[in-house]
Amino acid sequence: MTNDLTIDDDWNALYIDGDWVSSEEGESLAVEDPSTREVVAEVPSATEADVDAAYESAVAAQEKWGEQLPAQRQAVIQQLMEAVDEHSDEIVELLTEEVGGTHVMGHTSIHIANDHAGEAATLPRRMKGEHADSNIPGKENLLKRGPKGVVTVISPWNFPLNLSMRAVAPAIAAGNSVVLKPSTNSPITGGLLFGKLFEETDLPDGVLNIVTGRGSEIGDSIASHPESDVVSFTGSTEVGQHVAGLAGENLAVPAMELGGNNAFIVTRDADLDNALDAATFASFVHQGQVCISINRHIVHEDIYDEYVERLTERAEELITGSAHKPDTDVGPIIDESQRDEMLEYVESTIEAGATLETGGEIVNIDDVDDSLVVAPTVLSDVTNEMSAACNEHFGPIAPVIPFSDVDEAVEIANDTEYGLSGAVHADDLAVAKDIAERMETGNVHINDQPINDEAHVPFSGIGASGMGSYNSDAFLHEITETKWISIQHEPRDYSL
């Protein structure tokens, strides 16, 4: 069966045990297009009873699924990739309509999602055990790896497709069942869409279950559900701490990717053209709503003025407006609360002494009441303590901070509780590597920008940016467990 995946489809159903079912109380939530501010769809508002039904289904399906041959589990993930490819244009449009993603964001999401699915398809054949010698004469030690059981996935709204995929696909490939709870702002592309895509595969009923609803109403019951063995969460540090605490009460493994405050260091000898290319992309792509985007530009004082001038020119050249227009570079922020918070950061930073070089205002869109588009913003004369620098602003905002030497640059970069990603531009690779090694963050990219995700390379944050790891064998270890089996091949001396 091939589904027609458009915003006009009926999305007002939960996906439980292979069926599309109504929420127990029949209530729904509106999905608003951030570009037009119009309601474009409705999804269910699940209850705790719906959550219990999803976990009951997941538990019932998991054991048999976990016993499937590696080739069978691999085939399902390969079928999923085929479905994503077949529906790629529709998915890009869904991302535009639900989260205000530009076409660049949409196609990037497809690419990364399929990268994660492709890596996940290799996992069933990589779940290998080990043999360990014993200190006991005549004993053989075997270590076997198997699925944890039920994996809970709580995904975010900013890149809902690929950030759901990076947890859902590996979990299923490794023999687990899944309960997926997408963000309230992206219930379709982060959640219900996966039900329709997996319907085009041979995945047995109950292995994937999807519940939508407000986190304030069902979030705690999902994070703390006693049938959950792993809780994968991507989102803010504050919420992640709460989710991890609830998961821990049931001894579920927490895999948390949380907030970031990523530094982009540009040394005096850096190739400024390349640095500005990277800086423009990683500050303004998807309106800066990326956990690994540039939050602070830390630039050597000798090139600071030129850098600010040229970054301002780049920002003013970007095309702003509706994400539905194919040439739009910077579209809408996801909702009013996010928009207003980031503008407050800008205002507070200016009041503290920073200079507004460009932006800092709402861009009006024809026929749209109260536009969510914020102009690309560059702030100079910024210090690390100012609001737009010390907070994860999550918007198209580029605060630029000067430094005098490498030690000061590293000190500024590390002066945050977060440690998710970062980048450094320098002509001298020895200097760049030294800076990268001293930056206290889980990922650092030399002569590049911090928005990188490759499914075969482990991805993790440190400090307030999370716990646990994603991608490749790193996430495989989160969603599987090892069993020690020993065999005593000859009589053992049990003398007391």
Give, in degrees to the nearest 5, the angle at Cα 341 between 97 and 393: 85
* CA neighbor of 204 nearest in space, from 230, 178, 180, 166: 178
At a CB cut-off of 8 Å and minimum separation 6, what does 241 contact?
258
Give me the active site residues, please.
Answer: 257, 291
Q: Where are the alpha helices (DSSP H) in 67-102?
A: 70-86, 88-99
* CA neighbor of 358 nearest in space, from 376, 340, 342: 376
d(CA 131, CA 486): 10
- The DSSP call for residue 156 is -
d(CA 173, CA 160): 20
d(CA 329, CA 103): 9
Helix, strand and coil content of the chain, in percent to the nearest 5, comes to 40, 20, 40
d(CA 278, CA 149): 41
Q: Which helix (H) or strand (E) holds 486?
A: strand 480-488
Sign of the torsion angle spanned by Cα atoms 450, 451, 455, 461: positive
* Cβ pair 294, 450 in contact under 8 A: yes
What are the angstrom distances between the C-alpha of 192 and each of 95, 200, 204, 429? 13, 14, 17, 46
**Strand intervals (E) in 166-238:** 177-181, 208-210, 230-234
Three-class HEC string of 292-358: CCEEEEEEECCCHHHHHHHHHHHHHHCCECCCCCCCCCECECCCHHHHHHHHHHHHHHHHCCCEEEE
At a CB cut-off of 8 Å and minimum separation 6, what does 349 contact?
379, 382, 386, 387, 388, 389, 399
Rg, Å, the chain Cα set: 24
Q: With left for phi above 0 and alpha for psi between -120 and 50, is residue 394 left, alpha or beta?
A: left
